[in-house]
Chains A and B, each alone.
Chain A
Amino acid sequence: MDLTNIYASLPADLVATFSMVLVALVALALVVWDAFRNNAPGIPWAGVVALGVAIVWELFALGDAPGTAWYGMVRTGGFAAFVNIVVLIGALLSIILSVPYLREIRHAHGEVYAIILFATVGMMLLGTANNLVAVFVGLETMSISLYILTGLVREDEGATESALKYFLLGAFSTGFFLYGIALLYGATGTMDLARMSEGLAAGENLVMFWAGVGLLLVGFLFKVSAAPFHMWTPDVYQGAPTTLTAYMSTATKAATFASLILVLYAALPPERWTMVLAVIAVLTMVVGNVLAIAQQNVKRMLAYSSIAHAGYVLVGLAAGTPAGYAGALFYLLVYSIMNIGAFGVMALLEWDGKEGQTQTLNSLAGIGPRKPLLGATMVVFMFALVGFPPLGGFWGKVAVFAPAVEAGLTWLVIVGVLASAVSAYYYLRVLYVFWMRSPEDEPEAAAVQDRVFAVPVTSAAVLIVCVVLLLYFGVRPGGILETTASFFAGPGASMALLP
């Protein structure tokens, strides 16, 4: 192998993946900064600035033609830019929400923000990876950072327990994921996603190939918490610090689904597992929505709801058409915004000093009139999660359900619509308790609501930004949907993603 010109493409690669490099370098700098000035108040804001710069950079890359950088390891261009924007926005909003929240629960360590940035780098690598080696490294960078964030409050038994569950099950699923990679590599002779199908055609290892795809899917479905691999989700989301749950439940899903879309779209032969994905989507939607009804704890309810939303995204993937993948990407963006908003409100309504693990929905009876901003924004987030028309959630559901109907999966869409009708019950119950009940109705509510802390200006700003974005997605979804569709369209439609 000739190594003389190995650095020739370095400047171009650095520009193409500038946002990822920037976030990684800033994360390293924050670790050093925290070592010299312990818990310096500027640390989270330096992270916010880095993420903001990265978002602006990626916005300019949205229209770029697809390509690769770092010798085919990482994908660049529109698709990568869109995934990066979703992940970066999730990280940015979560960090701003986390600053006052972590101070309130007395865990405002500087390292937290560095670890969030490391997880973000992992997600960006995962969502844009063009090679199974990069997929694995991105996935693990993300996961290991998230195990730490889950167990952040290590004095608390619940938080540590959820970290252990997340870690053990996550490491277990990594084993399957990795075995899948190894078998795919053996069957096709390459780690490069774009060259997999031709590698398969050259070899005759069909059994090995499909076994590898199956194991890889198990790993992916675990990370996006699809049934029957969803068991860890409620426990982990309930035990983790609330603003970090917001981060975990949104950016992680966006990056993992993006990687799954790339694998389904670029690496697998045309028969695309529609039936398997459809069955998993039905299971996920039913399990998530039905179990969410019974929850008394809002964080746990939102955890089951996030399982249900993974099911809706899987409907788009099951369609297996470019429109389905484009709709899934749009859904991930909308879902990230509304879920960060909902978890952000719950973080600001916490009174139990145990990351909201023990507080019931009824203890927040009548909180709406007392905290009008939180109550009013929660109305928007809940209606968006149900999928009511003037908000982004509605167009998100249209974007994943319509392609599935076109692909002949009408039964799947009927199940999905029925499932979201069920979801209206538990989302709107939150609003009922917030606005229609009064603290006097609930013996426990009157005593505890004074312990809810004041709403900081920065958190209020984040919630309002989320509301504005959801209204924008609801009123003008066209531009973004066209953008996501353009990643999968154009001349030679199925190859548009490939360089």
Chain B
Amino acid sequence: MEITLNWYLSLSAVLFVIGVLGVLMRRNAIVILMSVELMLNAVNLTLVALSQAMGDVAGQILVFFVMAVAAAEAAIGLAIIIALFRKKVTVDVNEFHLFKY
């Protein structure tokens, strides 16, 4: 059986939804960060598949930028989480509620 473009698009859509659900349902800041990375990588899969199917290179170039951005985001995000962990000794986002309304 041949694996067509739609298979790749479906797989990446499923991965993206898993990432979204992870962000919405998990309360651990690091797990949320991992879920966001999953979303970005799901999009990467879409871009590479579309790029390959259309014979156009722009999508694959964007994937390089996405990987760089994801790395920068992970660095900043983990730094912020560490700074907050030093204050609160927890990474549960339900514990961060200094501001209201």
For residue B61, which residue of chain A has the nearest CB?
A133
Interface residues of A in 168-206 (CB under 8 A from B): 168, 171-172, 174-175, 178-179, 181-183, 185-186, 189-191
Interface residues of B in 31-71 (CB under 8 A from A): 32-33, 36, 39-40, 42-43, 46-47, 50, 54, 56, 58-59, 61-62, 65-66, 69
Determine whether the beta carbon of A144 is less than 8 Å from that of B69: yes
Residues on A with C-beta less than 8 A from B93 are 164, 168
* Contact yes or no, A185 B40, CB < 8 A: no
Is B83 touching A239 in the complex (CB atoms < 8 A)? Answer: no
Quick check: A171 and B66 within 8 Å, CB to CB? no
Interface SS of B by simple majority? helix
Interface 9-mer from A15-23, A80-88, A152-160, A331-339 = A152-160
Q: Which residues does chain A contribute within 8 Å of B73, judged by CB atoms?
A: 140, 144, 167, 171, 174
Q: How far is the CA of A268 from the CA of B83 in the complex (A)?
A: 43
Give min CB distance, A118 to chain B, whole Å: 11
Closest to B87 in A: A157
Interface residue A95 (Cβ < 8 Å from any Cβ of B): no
B94 to chain A minimum Cβ distance, whole angstroms, is 12
B96 touches A161 (CB 8 A): yes
B1 is an interface residue with CB less than 8 A from chain A: no
Q: Say whether B46 contacts A186, CB under 8 Å.
A: yes
A445 to B77, CA, bound (A): 38
B50 and A162 form a contact (CB under 8 A): no
Does B76 belong to the interface (CB within 8 Å)? yes
When distances are taken between beta carbons in the complex, the residues of chain B under 8 Å from A189 are 54, 56
- Residues of chain B with a CB closer than 8 A to A300's CB: 99
Across the interface, A133 reaches (CB within 8 A) one of B16, B62, B84, namely B62
A160-B80 contact in complex given A175-B39, A234-B99, C-beta closer than 8 Å: yes
- Cross-chain contact B40 with A174 (CB below 8 angstroms): yes
Judging by beta carbons under 8 Å apart, are A175 and B40 in contact?
yes
The size of the chain B interface, using a CB distance under 8 A, is 40
For residue B22, give the distance in angstroms from its CB to the closest CB of chain A.
Answer: 10
Chain B residue at minimal CB-CB distance from A236: B99
Tell whether A238 pairs with B43 under 8 Å between CB atoms, given A137-B65, A157-B87, A168-B29.
no
| In the assembled complex, A471 has its CB within 8 A of some CB on chain B | no
Q: B98 in the interface, Cβ–Cβ < 8 Å?
A: yes
Q: When A133-B65, A172-B23 are in contact, do A179 and B46 touch as well, CB less than 8 Å?
A: yes
Establish whether residues B101 and A136, one from each chain, have CB atoms under 8 Å apart when the complex forms: no
> Hey, which chain B residues are within 8 Å of A234, CB to CB?
99
Q: Which of B43, B58, B80 contacts A178 (CB 8 A)?
A: B43
Instruction: Determine which residue in B33, B72, B88 has the highest number of CB atoms from chain A within 10 A of its CB, and name it.
Output: B72
A182-B96 CB under 8 A given contacts A133-B61, A151-B80, A175-B16: no
A97 CB–B CB distance under 8 Å: no
Tell me how far the C-beta of A215 lies from the nearest C-beta in chain B, rounded to whole angstroms: 10
Cβ-closest chain A residue relative to B45: A182
Residue of B nearest to A169 (CB): B23
Residue from the list A133, A136, A144, A154 in contact with B72, Cβ < 8 A: A144
Q: Is the CB of B96 within 8 A of A151?
A: no
Knowing A158-B99, A175-B19, A186-B46 are in contact, say whether A140-B69 is a contact too (CB < 8 A).
yes
A132 within 8 A of B: yes
Bitwise, A233-252 to B at CB < 8 A (1) or not (0) is 01100110000000000000
A235 touching B40, Cβ below 8 Å: no
Q: How far is the CB of A116 from chain B (nearest CB, A)?
A: 16
A239 and B99 contacting across the interface, CB-CB below 8 Å: yes
Residues in A whose Cβ lies below 8 Å from that of B83: 151, 154, 160, 163
- Determine how close the nearest CB of chain A comes to the CB of B31; give it in whole angstroms: 11
Contact A133 B88 (CB under 8 A): no
Distance between Cα atoms of A390 and B101 in the complex (Å): 34
A161 touches B43 (CB 8 A): no
Q: Contacts A151-B80, A160-B84, A294-B101 hold; do A171 and B43 have CB atoms under 8 A apart?
A: no
8 contacts between A and B (CB under 8 A): A137-B65, A158-B98, A174-B40, A174-B73, A175-B19, A182-B59, A183-B46, A190-B56
Nearest 6 A-B pairs (CB), nearest first? A175-B39, A186-B50, A182-B46, A235-B99, A154-B83, A171-B36
Inter-chain pairs besides A160-B84, A172-B23, 4 sampled, C-beta below 8 Å: A167-B73, A178-B66, A183-B46, A294-B101
